[in-house]
Amino acid sequence: MRPVPSWPPIPPLPSGGAPVAQPRRLSASQIALWWLMGVIGMLFGLMLVAYVMRMSLGDWRPLPPVDALWVTTGVLAAACIVMQSSASQARRGELRRSRRDWGLAGALALAFVAGQLWVWHDLASRSYGVSGNPANSFFFLLTGLHALHLCGGVVAWALLASHRMTHVARAQRLSLTAQYWHFLFVLWVVLFAAIVNLTPEIAQRLCGTGVGS
């Protein structure tokens, strides 16, 4: 009799006799997250291009230094570190420590949003409102849109508490949430660097609109 082929096929054995590890397939949620981060990255990339082009025009009046942004940046960095710690502990089965760090990460993310609200209120009270100058408008637009996407990450964080799931599923969701928060932190660093370091002179050189161009 001919042997009946097994399904799924058994992986070939190497010389040592152990099965060859098969490549792990990416989950649909991981692929969806990458697509989401790609779309968000393209959106902010286009907005940064518009920011540089608008800055190169002569009516741009830069905002005064906002020292509180350094503090909020540190708070967001701490939130990402603690969230990654929570995801790593969940994968190791340390659920109590994972829940503790998970709660702390959410509190730090909310503190970042509260800090941004304070910065906006402080600028408005000093007559640097949204409509005062193109620089003001872009600052509120870029930082506000970033805070909105971070609030989406906070919603994903909160859903982990409202849904009953297995330890494996919880660890996977924690890992995806941590990846999204890391992406938002990198995005914030880029925005922060543009707000702090870019000047009209640099923008004019980038756009080729400076004197003598």
What are the domain boundaries of the chain?
Answer: 65-206
List helix spans (H) across 56-199.
68-91, 95-125, 134-162, 167-197
Intervals of the chain under pLDDT 70: 1-26, 162-163, 209-213
Q: What is the pLDDT of residue 19?
A: 42
Distance CA(210)–CA(22), nearest Å, equals 57
Residues 6+ away with beta carbon under 8 Å from 196:
69
Architecture of the CATH domain 65-206: Up-down Bundle (1.20)
Contact 136, 63 (CB under 8 A): yes
Q: What is the pLDDT of residue 25?
A: 57
Q: What is the pLDDT of residue 171?
A: 83
In the numeric block, the tokens 């969701």 are attached to 173
Tokens of 126: 């000093």
Q: What is the pLDDT of residue 210?
A: 58
